[in-house]
Amino acid sequence: MVEKRILARVHSRFIVSLAYAFQTKSELCLVMTIMNGGDLRYHIYNVDENNPGFEEDRACYYAAQIINGMEHLHQKRIIYRDLKPENVLLDNEGNVRISDLGLAVELKEDQFKIKGYAGTPGFMAPELLKGEEYDYSVDYFTLGVTLFEMLAAKGPFRSRGEKVDNKELKKRIIKEPVTYPEKFRENAKSVCEGLLAKEVDNRLGFKNGSCDGIRAHAFFRSINWRKLEAGILPPPFVPDSRTVYAKNLADVGAFSSVRGVTLEHKDKTFYNEFASGNVSIPWQEEMIEMGVFGELNVWGPGGGVPADLEQPPKSSTCCLS
């Protein structure tokens, strides 16, 4: 329900869009943007297994699109909390969008920080792991982990292939410095250090209502931000339309079924709220551009009902179908 409500509020080319929501007897269904290019994790590790990871220009492009998506969320007072390569999806043209907002949380108007343990081990920020209150800053720590992984083909708090339990991982994130492979050039290392700063005040992030501070970093000097925002900056990689970018076809969709459960009246009331439908912002814009909205909203004199919508006189014997 949280994901449906949040998706209904956001409108960005860098976040998957919700077309509509409905329910069947056994499923709750969200119909969203189709993303055929696979997720970033698959591209990092499985497209070229002998040379995992991305070149700097490709990682920079994806990070820039993620920043634009997260800025939109944060301007809507939404903390994402689950950024990771698996949740960043490519479309047919090679652009990426943030997906899976199931752990996102919306701040109230008078609320500036929250508490709560949520996220993926290895990506959660120190302040969250310590049980402190936090704000949008946790999302920029996850961006730092994601960017590091795009470049190094491993997380910043473990060696490649190393199995680390969550307790040890938590200790490393809170206390230990990050070491950078030789392939990290100066600007790449600098931006990761800024995003992975353990102290919130030292971390790059959402400041004064925007991410302009991050955009100004030298790592992004090759990005034309206006072209990126308009969707006309050519991607560094275009997926092959004949290729399925997944290890297993079962990975392409995410479905779950719970059987043998009888819904009570209160359950049905709750789920009916989910199935309230949703006219997404892109669809609203299309209705306006095509003139459909205007055609459906013609009013009579003084804002009254137009003649063709007037109820027939009570004495009329005609039938309406």
Tokens of 318: 């005609």
- Strands 18-23 and 88-90: what pairing? unpaired
Q: Where are the domains of the chain?
A: 1-33+258-296, 35-242
| CA-CA-CA-CA torsion sign (193, 16, 76, 267) | negative
How much is the pTM?
0.82
Say whether 39 is catalytic: no
| CA-CA-CA-CA torsion sign (160, 163, 166, 167) | negative
Annotated catalytic residue within 39, 48, 57, 82: 82
Mind listing the pLDDT tens digit of every residue in the chain (321 residues)?
A: 888 888 888 999 999 988 888 887 777 888 888 888 999 999 999 988 889 999 999 999 999 999 999 999 999 999 999 999 999 999 999 999 999 999 999 999 889 999 999 999 999 999 999 999 999 999 999 999 999 999 999 999 998 888 889 999 999 999 999 999 999 999 999 999 999 999 999 999 999 999 999 999 999 999 999 999 999 999 999 998 888 887 766 655 555 566 666 767 777 777 777 766 556 667 677 777 777 667 666 777 776 766 666 655 555 555 554
CATH homologous superfamily of 1-33+258-296 equals: Phosphorylase Kinase; domain 1 (3.30.200.20)
For the domain 35-242, what is the CATH code? Answer: 1.10.510.10
